[in-house]
Amino acid sequence: GQSLEQPSEVTAVEGAIVQINCTYQTSGFYGLSWYQQHDGGAPTFLSYNGLDGLEETGRFSSFLSRSDSYGYLLLQELQMKDSASYFCAVRDSNYQLIWGAGTKLIIKP
Protein backbone atom coordinates (compact mmCIF):
# COMPACT_ATOMS: atom_id res chain seq x y z
CA GLY A 1 0.00 0.00 0.00
CA GLN A 2 0.90 3.63 -0.16
CA SER A 3 1.96 5.44 2.97
CA LEU A 4 3.60 8.60 4.19
CA GLU A 5 5.01 8.82 7.69
CA GLN A 6 5.53 12.06 9.57
CA PRO A 7 5.59 12.88 13.30
CA SER A 8 2.18 13.62 14.77
CA GLU A 9 3.36 16.58 16.81
CA VAL A 10 6.42 18.80 17.17
CA THR A 11 7.00 21.53 19.75
CA ALA A 12 9.43 24.40 19.33
CA VAL A 13 10.18 27.83 20.74
CA GLU A 14 9.48 31.11 18.98
CA GLY A 15 12.52 32.21 17.00
CA ALA A 16 13.97 28.71 16.80
CA ILE A 17 14.37 26.31 13.87
CA VAL A 18 12.32 23.16 13.45
CA GLN A 19 12.50 20.27 11.00
CA ILE A 20 9.54 18.08 10.09
CA ASN A 21 10.49 14.79 8.46
CA CYS A 22 8.51 12.74 5.99
CA THR A 23 9.21 9.27 4.64
CA TYR A 24 7.12 7.80 1.90
CA GLN A 25 6.28 4.58 0.15
CA THR A 26 4.14 5.07 -2.95
CA SER A 27 3.48 3.54 -6.34
CA GLY A 28 5.37 5.98 -8.50
CA PHE A 29 6.75 9.33 -7.48
CA TYR A 30 6.30 12.67 -9.15
CA GLY A 31 7.37 14.96 -6.39
CA LEU A 32 6.94 15.78 -2.71
CA SER A 33 4.83 18.74 -1.65
CA TRP A 34 4.26 20.43 1.68
CA TYR A 35 1.04 22.09 2.75
CA GLN A 36 0.20 24.18 5.80
CA GLN A 37 -3.21 24.04 7.43
CA HIS A 38 -4.37 26.27 10.26
CA ASP A 39 -7.21 25.00 12.45
CA GLY A 40 -10.46 25.25 10.55
CA GLY A 41 -8.73 26.41 7.40
CA ALA A 42 -7.88 25.01 4.02
CA PRO A 43 -4.50 23.50 3.16
CA THR A 44 -2.22 26.01 1.50
CA PHE A 45 0.76 25.14 -0.64
CA LEU A 46 4.21 25.75 0.81
CA SER A 47 6.74 24.01 -1.39
CA TYR A 48 7.44 21.32 -3.95
CA ASN A 49 10.50 19.13 -4.57
CA GLY A 50 10.63 17.19 -7.82
CA LEU A 51 14.36 16.58 -7.75
CA ASP A 52 16.85 15.84 -4.98
CA GLY A 53 18.11 18.75 -2.97
CA LEU A 54 17.00 21.80 -1.12
CA GLU A 55 14.37 24.33 -2.16
CA GLU A 56 14.24 27.60 -0.26
CA THR A 57 11.31 29.99 -0.01
CA GLY A 58 11.89 32.68 2.56
CA ARG A 59 11.89 31.22 6.07
CA PHE A 60 10.79 27.82 4.76
CA SER A 61 13.00 25.24 3.05
CA SER A 62 12.24 21.76 1.85
CA PHE A 63 14.59 18.91 1.10
CA LEU A 64 14.21 15.70 -0.88
CA SER A 65 16.27 12.53 -1.20
CA ARG A 66 14.56 10.20 -3.66
CA SER A 67 17.02 7.37 -3.01
CA ASP A 68 16.02 7.43 0.68
CA SER A 69 12.32 8.13 0.00
CA TYR A 70 12.70 10.96 2.47
CA GLY A 71 12.12 14.63 2.70
CA TYR A 72 11.82 17.34 5.29
CA LEU A 73 10.42 20.79 5.80
CA LEU A 74 12.61 23.26 7.65
CA LEU A 75 11.08 26.29 9.29
CA GLN A 76 13.40 29.02 10.50
CA GLU A 77 12.86 32.03 12.76
CA LEU A 78 9.64 30.53 14.00
CA GLN A 79 6.75 32.88 14.61
CA MET A 80 3.58 32.22 16.59
CA LYS A 81 1.59 32.38 13.36
CA ASP A 82 3.48 29.30 12.15
CA SER A 83 1.48 27.21 14.64
CA ALA A 84 -0.45 24.92 12.33
CA SER A 85 -0.51 21.42 10.92
CA TYR A 86 1.95 20.58 8.18
CA PHE A 87 1.25 17.86 5.65
CA CYS A 88 3.63 16.18 3.28
CA ALA A 89 2.04 14.84 0.11
CA VAL A 90 3.44 12.71 -2.70
CA ARG A 91 2.18 12.73 -6.25
CA ASP A 92 1.96 9.09 -7.28
CA SER A 93 1.98 7.35 -10.66
CA ASN A 94 -1.62 8.50 -11.28
CA TYR A 95 -0.59 12.09 -10.48
CA GLN A 96 -2.77 11.98 -7.37
CA LEU A 97 -1.69 13.61 -4.14
CA ILE A 98 -1.28 11.02 -1.40
CA TRP A 99 -1.20 12.74 1.98
CA GLY A 100 0.59 12.10 5.24
CA ALA A 101 -1.38 12.30 8.48
CA GLY A 102 0.01 15.72 9.29
CA THR A 103 2.34 17.15 11.93
CA LYS A 104 0.91 19.56 14.44
CA LEU A 105 3.50 22.26 15.15
CA ILE A 106 3.15 23.85 18.58
CA ILE A 107 5.17 27.01 19.15
CA LYS A 108 5.84 28.29 22.63
CA PRO A 109 6.83 31.88 23.44
Partner 1 sequence: EPEVTQTPSHQVTQMGQEVILRCVPISNHLYFYWYRQILGQKVEFLVSFYNNEISEKSEIFDDQFSVERPDGSNFTLKIRSTKLEDSAMYFCASEEGGNTEAFFGQGTRLTVV
Q: Which residues bind partner 1 (CB under 8 A)?
A: 30-31, 33, 41-45, 48, 87, 89, 91, 94-102
* Cβ nearer to partner 1, comparing 18 with 85: 85
Chain-centroid distance of CA 97 in Å reads: 13
Q: How far apart are the first and last CA of the chain?
A: 40
Distance CA(102)–CA(28), nearest Å, equals 21
* Cβ nearer to partner 1, comparing 76 with 96: 96
**Which DSSP symbol is given to 96?**
P
- 44: number of CA atoms within 13 Å, CB side? 8
* Cβ nearer to partner 1, comparing 18 with 102: 102
| Least Å from the CB of residue 25 to partner 1 | 15
* Cβ nearer to partner 1, comparing 78 with 103: 103
| Least Å from the CB of residue 43 to partner 1 | 5
Closest by Cα among 1, 19, 8 to 74: 19
| Least Å from the CB of residue 15 to partner 1 | 28
